[in-house]
Structure 1
């Protein structure tokens, strides 16, 4: 299965495989943030472990997937036309990201849940990852905003220099290596907050996704070769799971080499999911996770609203002396349901109308096709 659902790529058809990855990421983020009812049960603790442990990794997965998709939009144009239309790209990103984001900011201004001084200027200037914000989840959006400005400029430079694919990929790898060195030095200096939040330390997670997109669009034969290595991809993903389960417990190690390990592993996960989902893509759970992924941006923006109802239910259950395990299940399910419903409603009410407006006034330019044969026996 190739990136947009066909071996001959022409137009951005929705990929359930990529929505499935988005769904996994947002479920990890929600599970990490949601409050749970204490049960004392080892069985519940085992269920909770992936939910309560991998939220940061869910954000890292969003970063790499974003780099793959956004880099793919630009590198597809570079491969077809030998140029980058940065202005159109940025405007289309603004229509995608800003309306829902600013509705969230306006909600918090009028709701008064946080003092305006704790978030307004920081979020309006997209510098909340440096200066902090009481709307805590928006820090990662600042990193992506900075990336959306940095990447087109870099690719325009590549286009003007008429660089070939190997040179482009080599420079992107070099930037990732430089970021790793600088981040490791910062971790050694004790700046764990900076290495977690600041764009200059996190941008390689996105650039690895761009590198994968570069291989996909600029070197399709190399992509086919990588995608055909199913056992190797599986081994890398297994190693990724092992790292996330055990290596991330050491913050200094994780925030230095760990981000690089995760980005490489997530690239393997993206290829494996695209090419080898097979019959499971029609299963109910796969499609349910994919559906959640479709609304993942809205859910990510608004999921913190589920925390207060969750706390209320926890207090009620404790006061009434309700059984712990059923209470845990109801409380967690309620928080997930609230977050998903609010994300769904806001996406349909805000994001989708602006996307239709964007496509009417600033349609994507689609010229020609590029053959990217599928591997792994997937039908087009």
Structure 2
């Protein structure tokens, strides 16, 4: 799978949307961009769909050809992709408490074991709390290869449909129970892995269609314009439903609706038929390439600039926005080029050595 401009654009949108959402830390954007920022948390759901699709295809495509699944190589790629930059940023949070966007922070062992999203006390410990989504993805990386291997040993469309239905229904029931019993929305609905599997599932199902039903995938790509339009409509419906995101209907039904809409956009962006797959936005590829480093580090940059601007109140409006944007981009780029990229290159050398020269695909670098 080659680099696809449509997926790069979606990844860039996801990270920018998330960072706009986190502007609440500094009082919000205000003005015409504020409504966009208010729903920026949905960028995480877009990341989930993209991960489900890219990682899912990376694992399912060789299995569909009857090839064995190399667990060690997969986990090695994931470790080199995720851990270096994550551990670098975690070290900054632990060693320099004044740099944190909030004073309270969960114990280090919860970050190191990727259990933060299951144990967080968000009211008191908000520093580096955005690592919750990384925990969800790590749980997916750990468990999905085993599930994919088992399903490939016993191929059955019925099992796949039943498993997907179970994940969706279980999420509905768990979120419904938490909502009806007055549980904390963030800690019982938004953060836990078992309530946030809709996006990953939607992406995996796209990958399964492409890997196992190529004729169906070709048909989908012929109607990519329709998929993109339907995806935008469903995302719009989800935004309307999430006007009060803690309400019962939004909490229970909003996430699968949003994930379906985003999955249709990913399907459209994965080809070259729809406008989404052909639209090459300058800079989108670069932003997409450093999106992981941006995600990890952007709150540190926001907090640092906010502290400086408190001393320079004359700098406001567009000038302040530019200062925040420059600091975020610089911090993310520094983390990417100094930490993330060298380890990705090392990973490439190790994978090439282990696989006798096979070059990693975009899916492997997702």
TM-score band w.r.t. shorter chain:
0.7 to 0.9
| Aligned-residue offset at 1:335 | 1.3
| Cα displacement (A) at 1:309 | 3.5
Deviations, residues 63-88 of structure 1 (Å, cap 9, x unaligned):
11111111111111211235322222
Structure-2 separation of matches of 1:220 and 1:335? 45
- Whether 2:180 is the aligned partner of 1:188: answer yes
The aligned residue for residue 273 of structure 1 is: 269
Residue in 2 aligned with 1:200? 194
Number of the residue aligned with 1:338:
327
- Structure 1 unmatched runs, 5+: 5-12, 369-380
Q: 1:67 aligns with which of 52, 61, 64?
A: 52
Q: Which of 216, 223, 226 in structure 1 is aligned with 2:220?
A: 226
Separation in 1 of the partners of 2:201 and 2:285? 24
Summarize the alignment of residues 35-114 of structure 1 with structure 2, pairs less than 5 Å apart: 45-50=31-36, 52-113=37-98
- Which 4+ stretches in 1 moved above 6 angstroms? none
Please give the alpha-carbon distance, in whole angstroms, between the structure 2 residues aligned to 1:65 and 1:350.
23
Change (3 A) 1:336 1:55: same
3-state secondary structure, aligned to 1:287: coil
1:137 corresponding residue in structure 2: 130
TM-score between the two structures when normalised by the length of structure 1 = 0.82
Name the structure 2 match of 1:259: 255
Indicate conservation of the 8 Å contact 2:225/2:275, yes or no: no
Larger RCO (CA under 8 A, 6+ residues apart) = 1
* Alpha-carbon distance in structure 1 between the residues aligned to 2:191 and 2:279: 37
Alpha-carbon distance in structure 2 between the residues aligned to 1:197 and 1:229: 35
Structure 1 residues 17 and 306: alpha-carbon distance in aligned structure 2, compared to 1, 3 A threshold? same
**Closer, same or farther: CA 269–149 of 1 in aligned 2, 3 Å:** same
- Measure the CA separation in 1 of the matches of 2:151 and 2:27: 53
**1:30 aligned partner:** 19
Aligned length: 343
The question of 1:311 aligning with 2:306 is answered: yes
**2:349 counterpart (360, 363, 373):** 360
Shift in alpha-carbon separation, 1:116–1:69, aligned structure 2, 3 A: same
Shift in Å, 1:277:
5.1
Answer whether contact 2:28 2:34 (CA < 8 A) is retained.
no
2:361 aligns to what?
none
Instruction: Please give the TM-score of this superposition, normalised by the length of structure 2.
Output: 0.85
